[in-house]
Structure 1
Amino acid sequence: MAEPHPEPHDVAVAIIPARGGSKGLPGKNLMRLGGVSLVGRAVAAARAARSVGTIIVTTDDEEIARVARAAGAEVVDRPADLAGDAATSESALLHALDERYAHAGDAPPVTLFIQATSPFIDPSDLDAAVARVASHEADSVFAAVESHAFLWRAAGDGAVFGANHDAAVRRRRQDREPEFRETGAFTAMRTAGFRAARHRFFGRIAPQLVPALHGVDIDTAADLVVAKALVELIDRPAAAIDVDAVVTDFDGVHTDDTAWVDTDGRELVRVSRSDGQGVARLRAAEVPVLVLSAEENPVVAARAAKLRVEVLQGVRDKGPVLAEWAAARGIPLERIAYLGNDVGDLPALALVGWPVAVADAVPAVREAARVVLEARGGAGAVRELAELVLAARPGAPAQNPSPRTEHEGALA
Structure 2
Amino acid sequence: MEVLAIIPARGGSKGIPRKNVLPLAGKPLIAHSIHAALAATRVTRVVVSTDDPEIAAVAKQYGAEVLMRPDELAGDIARSEDALLHVLEELERAEAYRPDAIAFLQCTSPLTDSDDIDGTLAALDTQQADSALAVVPFHYFLWSQQADGSADGINHDKSFRLMRQQRQPEFVETGAVYAMRTEGFRTAGFRFFGKTVMHEIPVEHWQEIDEPADFRIAEERMARMARQRPARTARTALPARIAALVMDFDGVLTDDRLFVSTSGEESVACSRSDGMGIEMLRKAGLAMTVISKEQNAVVAARCQKLKLECSHGIDTKLPLFRRWLEERGIGIADAIYIGNDINDLPCMEAAGCAVAPADAHPAALAAADIVLEHSGGRGAIRELADMLIASGRIAATQG
Give the structure-1-normalised TM-score. 0.63
1:208 is matched with 199
Pairs aligned (count) = 322
Kept after mapping to 1: 8 A contact 2:8/2:105: yes
Q: CA deviation at 1:133?
A: 2.6
Q: CA deviation at 1:14?
A: 0.9
Shift of 1:90: 0.4
Q: Who is 1:133 aligned against?
A: 124
Corresponding residue for 1:58? 49
Query: RMSD of the alignment, in Å?
Result: 4.6
- Give the whole-Å Cα distance in 2 for the aligned partners of 1:34 and 1:387: 27
Partners in 2 of 1:217 and 1:281 — Cα distance?
A: 48
Deviations 1:40-59 (A, max 9, x none): 22222222222221211111
Provide the residue aligned with 1:342 in structure 2: none
Judge conservation of contact 1:51–1:127 (CA < 8 Å) in 2: yes
Equivalence map 1:356-375=2 (5 Å): 366=362, 370-371=366-367
> How much has 1:79 moved relative to structure 2?
0.9
* Partner-residue secondary structure (3-state), 2:7: strand
Query: Which consecutive residues of structure 1, in runs of 5 or more, have no partner in the other structure?
Result: 1-7, 255-274, 292-307, 310-328, 340-348, 402-412
The reply on whether 1:86 has 2:77 as its aligned counterpart is yes
CA contact (8 A) 1:143 1:185 kept: yes
Deviation at residue 225 of structure 1 after TM alignment = 2.0
Distance in 2 separating the partners of 1:69 and 1:97: 19
Assess, with a 3 A threshold, how the Cα gap between structure 1 residues 374 and 69 changes in structure 2: closer, same or farther.
Answer: closer
Give the SS at the match of 1:186.
strand
The Cα offsets for residues 144-163 of structure 1, whole Å up to 9 and x where unpaired, read as 00101111223355543222
1:62 CA displacement:
1.7
Find the partner of 1:76 among 59, 64, 67.
67
Q: Distance in 1 between matches of 2:379 and 2:50?
A: 34
Output the CA distance in 2 between the equivalents of 1:40 and 1:92: 19
Deviations 1:323-368 (A, max 9, x none): xxxxxx62317689986xxxxxxxxx7777589999899xxx8579
Aligned pair partner of 2:315 in 300, 317, 332 = 332
1:37 to 28, 50, 68: 28
Asked whether 1:173 is paired with 2:167, we answer: no
1:13-412 paired onto structure 2 within 5 Å: 13-102=4-93, 106-135=97-126, 137-156=128-147, 159-235=150-226, 244-247=248-251, 330-332=313-315, 353=345, 366=362, 370-371=366-367, 380-382=374-376, 386-387=380-381
Identity of aligned residues (%): 38
Query: Cα gap change, 1:160/1:385 in structure 2, threshold over 3 Å: closer, same or farther?
Result: farther
Counterpart CA distance in 1 for 2:217 and 2:18 is: 18
Kindly tell me: are residues 338 and 209 of structure 1, through their superposed partners in 2, closer, same or farther at Cα, counting changes over 3 Å?
closer
Shift of 1:383: 6.8
* Larger deviation, residues 173-182 vs 64-73: 64-73
**Paired amino acid for 1:83:** A
CA contact (8 A) 1:373 1:384 kept: no
Distance across 1 between alignment mates of 2:291 and 2:63: 23
Aligned to 1:146, what secondary structure does the other structure show? strand
Query: Quick check: 1:35–1:369 contact (8 Å CA) kept in 2?
Result: no
SS in 1 for 2:66: strand
AA partner of residue 164 (structure 2): R
